[in-house]
């Protein structure tokens, strides 16, 4: 439940590309003046950076001027209807990412990693972790996506069916719209299957290598939790039966705990509530969900039914798939899953691809919350390898 050079990974012609060089979203613009930190809020996406360049520009087509000051958050947001995008997102950039790479193609595109959340999550789940990665690897940028029906993307109407494949295609289209060139795909739980589906839907062979991380998820059968553990499908259905508006977040927490869901999960779910009445009217305030629970229910069913073992058994040339198993998440991993992945490791090595298994100790399913230091150490190896292979100038 619930993270290649230009033209690195291209989707089939009828689909959006998973890479084409980096350029600005058509609804956004380059950054404006900055001292030590810059942050731009697009209508459907936000750009966070620690860049020292000083720039000024306007946002077409509304021509709104955007200015950033040290440690100041820009809250301006153009009319969303005029700038409706594929998905909501946040782009976190390291301080060595050069702003003018958005326009000046003589400057190499910065290496990009895409981070995908799990069911009932949002891109914000990766916020702190992405900023930590950006500090350690300052020439990288990290795209945090709100998947369909989740977070700020819930207000962007999507046609069904709501499946793993359609969710992956959304991300492919977003990457094409932003004209990014991802070298790394990181997906937690449901997001892990989305990352695999992105590779499956992309054109083969891939022009450039891509490293995929599937965090605490298997390519096939989803195994329910044991007694005393939270069951995502049951949690989603319980939330669907709750009122669409509640008086407080604590009301939701109490209801979930009473229904035998864990306190940690109850508190986490409550973070997906947003105040739905004017802030000034505190006495009559209410909260509503920021996600589409009906769509999410459909997505989770697809997560249970989707089988992506084929992409693991026959890894495309240039793709390296890493599986990470959480030590305390034993119920999600059967012996047959582990054996099949280890077999794929040997076969992929012979075919110039890559499959690798990792273990994250002292962590349950919520890997980036349970053991962020351990996860950081494991994932860092990918960014160090990619950086050393290509160098700062690619």
The model's pTM is 0.77
Q: How many CB atoms lie within 10 A of CB 102?
A: 22
Q: How far, in Å, are 293, 313, 344 from residue 309 at the CA level?
A: 28, 6, 10
Q: Which residue shows structure tokens 């997001």?
A: 191
Query: How many Å separate Cα 369 from the centre of its chain?
Result: 15
Q: Please name which of 1, 2, 5, 32 lies closest in space to residue 389, comparing C-alpha atoms.
A: 5
Q: Please name which of 128, 165, 159, 163 lies closest in space to residue 144, comparing C-alpha atoms.
A: 128
For 144-183, how does the pLDDT look when each residue is reduced to its tens digit (9 = 90+)? Answer: 999 999 999 999 989 889 999 999 999 999 998 888 879 9
Domains within the chain, CATH numbers bracketed: 38-221+316-390 (3.40.50.1820), 232-301 (no CATH)
For 220-238, how does the pLDDT look when each residue is reduced to its tens digit (9 = 90+)? Answer: 998 766 555 567 889 999 9
Q: Which two structure tokens, joined as six digits, stand for 281?
A: 């009217």
Portion of the chain with pLDDT greater than 70, in percent: 67
Bridge partners (DSSP) listed for residue 232: none
**Residue 226 CB-density burial (10 A; 0-12 exposed, 13-18 middle, 19+ buried):** exposed
If pLDDT is split at 50, 70 and 90, which confidence band does 201 have? very high
Q: Do the Cβ atoms of 171 and 143 come closer than 8 Å? A: no
Q: Which residue shows structure tokens 């969303």?
A: 80
């Amino acid at each position: 439940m619930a993270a290649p050079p230009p033209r690195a990974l291209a989707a089939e012609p009828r689909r959006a590309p998973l890479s084409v060089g980096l350029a600005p979203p058509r609804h956004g613009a380059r950054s404006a003046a900055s001292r030590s930190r810059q942050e731009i809020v697009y209508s459907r996406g936000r750009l966070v950076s620690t860049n020292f360049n000083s720039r000024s520009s306007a946002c077409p087509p509304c021509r709104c001027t955007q200015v950033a000051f040290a440690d100041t958050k820009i809250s301006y947001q153009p009319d969303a209807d005029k700038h409706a995008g594929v998905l909501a997102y946040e782009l976190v950039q390291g301080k060595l990412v050069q702003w003018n790479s958005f326009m000046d193609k003589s400057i190499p595109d910065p290496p990009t990693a895409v981070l995908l959340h799990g069911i009932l999550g949002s891109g914000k789940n990766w916020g702190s972790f992405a900023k930590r990665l950006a500090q350690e690897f300052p020439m990288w940028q990290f795209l945090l996506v709100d998947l369909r029906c989740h977070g700020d993307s819930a207000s962007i109407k999507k046609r069904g069916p709501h499946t793993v494949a359609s969710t992956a295609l959304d991300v492919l289209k977003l990457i094409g719209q932003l004209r990014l060139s991802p070298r790394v795909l990181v997906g937690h739980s449901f997001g892990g299957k989305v990352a695999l589906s992105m590779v499956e839907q992309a054109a083969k062979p891939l022009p450039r290598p891509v490293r995929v991380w599937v965090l605490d998820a298997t390519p096939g059968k989803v195994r329910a939790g044991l007694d005393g553990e939270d069951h995502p499908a049951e949690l989603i259905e319980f939330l669907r039966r709750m009122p669409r508006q509640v008086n407080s977040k604590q009301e939701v927490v109490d209801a979930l705990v009473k229904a035998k869901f864990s306190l940690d999960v109850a508190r986490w779910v409550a973070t997906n509530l947003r105040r739905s009445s004017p802030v000034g009217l505190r006495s009559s305030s209410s909260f509503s969900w920021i996600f589409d629970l009906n769509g999410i229910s459909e997505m989770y069913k697809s997560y249970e039914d989707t089988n992506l073992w084929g992409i693991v058994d026959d890894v495309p040339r240039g793709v390296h798939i890493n599986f990470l198993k959480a030590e305390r998440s034993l119920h999600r991993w059967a012996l047959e899953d582990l054996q099949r992945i280890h077999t794929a490791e040997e076969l992929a090595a012979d075919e110039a691809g890559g499959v690798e298994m990792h273990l994250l100790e002292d962590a349950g399913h919520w890997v980036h919350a349970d053991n962020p230091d351990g996860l950081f150490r494991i994932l860092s190896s990918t960014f160090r390898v990619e950086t050393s292979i290509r160098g700062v100038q690619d």
